[in-house]
A and B are shown apart, each in its own frame.
Chain A
Amino acid sequence: MMELLETVFVRNNLVVAFAVVGITTWFSYWLANRLTAGRIHGSAIAIAAGLLAAWFGGIMTGGSRGVADFALLSGIGLMGGGMMRDFAIVATAFGAQLSELKKAGLAGVVSIFAGVIVSFTVGAAVAVVFGYTDPTEVTTIGAGAVTYIVGPVTGEAIGASEAMMTLSVAAGLVKSILVMIGTPLVARHIGLNNPQSAMVFGGLMGTTSGVAAGLAATDPKLVPYGAMTATFYTGIGCLLGPSILFFIVDGIF
């Protein structure tokens, strides 16, 4: 019986991964609606569940690729590998209208660049405080503070270790969840009550799921304005992280 299961699962590993990730995602969105009334986006719970499963997988198998080291789930390794990740992230740029950027105006564009650079600098500074001095490590943590996708994309491009890339995903996830929960709490204090400030907010925060969920909890009418600038954020992050920002860090250390 076990043998039969293993034969089918291993032979169709990528297909199994689709099904497993689909079930995980469904369960996470159900939890998000049930337990947090949608305050925390289902995607954040799903990613957190992924990290938790990876931790469990690492402990159980002693391997370095999370649940992908279980033979039955080896397809997760392919589905979540660098090639598929880059393919999907590039696809998210589809439909981004350059005219939207014009509508966002100077403040919107400035906020996107400022958001990437500020988050990166803060993340990198925290890494230095924690005693990291290797430029690839400092850069990867800084990029993770930009978003959980800019972290591993940058880390892989500059040859960071797996552990550093994992930390960058975790840092990005913390940021995303914090934006979801924190936005309605601080909205009044940061003047987040009009389209203009929502666009600046989207550009500064950049984490699309965080911005969408955070603004929805604040005022649903503001979501499209925040999403408009946040859409460009990850792209700019992937562009600047493994290039100018890495060179600057490399020059300092």
Chain B
Amino acid sequence: MIIYGVALLSACLVAGMLIGEGLGIVLGVEANVGGVGIAMLFLVLVCNSDRFSALTVGAAGDGVKFWSAMYIPIVVAMAARQNVAAAMDGGALALSAGVAAVAVSFALVPVLSRIGADKDAGADGRETTP
């Protein structure tokens, strides 16, 4: 049943958000502390556990995959509802932050590639969502 997968996804998000909100209160900050990340962690753990296979294989899994595939369209909608007109002044900041982050990350590739370079990292190919 597709709804099982959708319900699992919802439960993970709600649980993550509750914990994130709770952490915010405990830590005394007005923030949802890592709620989305915690929810993703839950989903990864659940779909790597055999105990919950009824919720993650077959049609139930399709219920989650559908929303995973809707990620980019939802991001497009998110972009279309941004307050771009008000953010125009910061255009140079956005550009600089993006360019600088890429430049530094590129430079780090050869450095980190040396870690465990002698170890054989065999892996099989897998298609992932964009």
Partner of B35, one of A79, A172, A199, A242: A242
For chain B, what secondary structure do more than half of its interface residues adopt (helix, strand, loop), or is it mixed? helix
Q: Which parts of A179-218 form the interface with B (CB within 8 Å)?
A: 179, 182, 186, 190-192, 195-197, 199-201, 203-205, 208-209, 212
Partner of B74, one of A80, A129, A239, A240: A80
Q: Which parts of B80-96 form the interface with A (CB within 8 Å)?
A: 80-88, 90-96
Partner of A89, one of B71, B92, B104, B124: B71
Q: Are A91 and B79 closer than 8 Å at their CB atoms?
A: no
Partner of A178, one of B12, B64, B98: B98
CB distance from B46 to the nearest CB of A (A): 9
Partner of B100, one of A18, A87, A122, A148: A122
Interface size on A, residues (CB 8 A): 133
With a cutoff of 8 Å between Cβ atoms, the chain A residues found around residue B107 in the complex are 190
Interface size on B, residues (CB 8 A): 89
CA distance A192 to B56 in the complex (A): 35
Give residues in A with beta carbon < 8 Å to B: 17-18, 21-22, 24-25, 41, 43, 46-55, 57-59, 64-68, 73, 76-77, 79-81, 84-98, 100, 103-108, 110-111, 114-115, 118-119, 122-123, 125-127, 129-130, 132, 141-142, 144-146, 148-149, 152-153, 156-159, 162-175, 178-179, 182, 186, 190-192, 195-197, 199-201, 203-205, 208-209, 212, 223-225, 227-228, 230-231, 235-243, 246-247, 250
